[in-house]
Amino acid sequence: MDDDKIRDLFRTFQPELTSECGFLSRLEDKMKAIDMVKRQIADMRRRNRIAVAVAAVSGFVVGVVLTLLMPMILDWSTTVNLSVPRLGIPEVNVDMHVVCWTLMAAVCVLTVYGSYELTVAGLSRKAESVAYGSRR
């Protein structure tokens, strides 16, 4: 059998195929499912970006406010320190600056984390209500 015979063999070769409509509609359904997942991933990324921006802004604002209030906080802490009654415990020399800055950093971190979580939760709830509303 030479090359031409093989060529002829394949020229008349028509394997049985399933229905074209069935194939295309099955593919279309799967593509719709992929589109939905793609949309959800894009929404999730968008929500995440917004939440990061909100968290960064709120952390920055709280940091600035606390830094501006630092002299007042230090005054207040010295007053508190003076007004604490002596209980016979040997006095420990604590640098109030270090304590205040540490507390401020902790408050900033908590604010950032809290605002991120709140924003994500809020946006997710909103997205769910929109989806639920559109489904109805």
Partner 1 sequence: MTREQFISNVESTQEALRRFLAALCCGDSQLADDVAQEAYLKAYIACGNFRKIESFKSWIFRIAFNVFIDLRRSARAFVNYDELREAPASEAADSHFRYQELYAALTQLPAKERTSVLLYYMEGYSVKEIAEIVESSQEAVRQHLARGRNHLRGMLSNSEKE
- Distance, in Å, from the CA atom of 16 to the CA atom of 103, rounded to the nearest integer, reads 75
Provide, rounded to whole angstroms, the least separation between the CB of residue 123 and partner 1. 25
Provide, rounded to whole angstroms, the least separation between the CB of residue 38 and partner 1. 8
For partner 1, the binding residues in 12-51 under the rule CB under 8 A are 13-18, 20, 23-24, 26-27, 30-31, 34-35
**Token pair for 107:** 């408050």
- 91 phi and psi, to 5 degrees? -70, 130
Closest C-alpha among 103, 61, 59, 62 to residue 80 = 103
Q: If binding is defined by CB under 8 A, does position 4 make contact with partner 1?
A: no
Here the contacts of 42-47 (C-beta below 8 Å, separation 24 or greater) are: 43/127, 47/119, 47/120, 47/123, 47/124, 47/127
The answer to whether 102 and 79 have CB atoms below 8 angstroms apart is no
Q: If binding is defined by CB under 8 A, does position 135 make contact with partner 1?
A: no
Q: Which stretch binds partner 1 (CB under 8 A): 10-18, 43-51, 57-65, 92-100?
A: 10-18
Among 10, 84, 95, 134, binds partner 1 (CB under 8 A): 10
Provide, rounded to whole angstroms, the least separation between the CB of residue 13 and partner 1. 7
Binding site for partner 1 (CB under 8 A): 1, 3, 6-7, 9-10, 13-18, 20, 23-24, 26-27, 30-31, 34-35
